[in-house]
Amino acid sequence: MDIIHTTFITSFGWCGLIKGEKGLKRIFLPEKNRKEVISKIKVFCSLCVLSEGDFQREIKGITAYFRGKNKKLSFCLDFSGSTNFQRMVWSETAKIPYGQKRTYLFIAEKIGSKNSARAVGNALGKNPFPMVIPCHRVLRADSTIGGFTAAGGIMLKEKLLKLEAKNI
C-alpha cells in the first residue's frame, strides 16, 4: 500500500491526514487554508499519494469532534518511528477524559518518571495524533496553558479546551 494523504475542511479550518498500511501516520490540525496543510503534508511525506476515498471514517470523526459531537476519537494508529518514552507519554495522555485536564507532572508521575515533566512536554510536542492523543488537555503544574506546537499555538489549544468545556 502506498502512503496516502488527504485534506478536508472542518469548522476550525483545513486539516490533513496521512495513512499507511499500519494505520494513520499523522493528523494535521486546522490551518487557515488548504495550501498550508498540503505544504506540511509534503514536508512530512514528499512521496505521499493523494487519496480522497480512503479516509471517510477519520474525516467523519474529526469533523464531528470540531463540532463538539464526537468526544472519543479512535483510529488505527501507526507509531513507527516513535520512542518507548513517547509511546508511554502518549498512552497515558490518551486516557484523559474529554473536557478534563491534567498536568505535565501528572503524566510524568503516571508513567513512573516524576522528574521528567519537561520531557513529557517535549514528547507531547511531537504527538502525531492530536485529538486522538489529546495533548491539548495537558497544562503546566500551575494550571496555566503551557505550550502547543501545532499551527495556531496556544490560541488553538485554548479554543479546543473551550470547545470541550462547552460540550461536556
- The values of phi and psi at residue 7, to 5°, are -130, 155
Report d(CA 30, CA 96) in Å as an integer: 22
**How many beta carbons lie within 10 A of that of residue 164, not counting itself?**
20
Q: Which is the catalytic residue, given 15, 45, 48, 135?
A: 135
Report d(CA 19, CA 24) in Å as an integer: 4
Beta strand pairing call for 13-20 and 4-10: antiparallel
Nearest to 74 by CA among 1, 120, 17, 24: 24
76 is catalytic: no
Residues 6+ apart with CB under 8 A from 61: 70, 73, 74, 75
For the annotated catalytic residues, the residue numbers are: 135
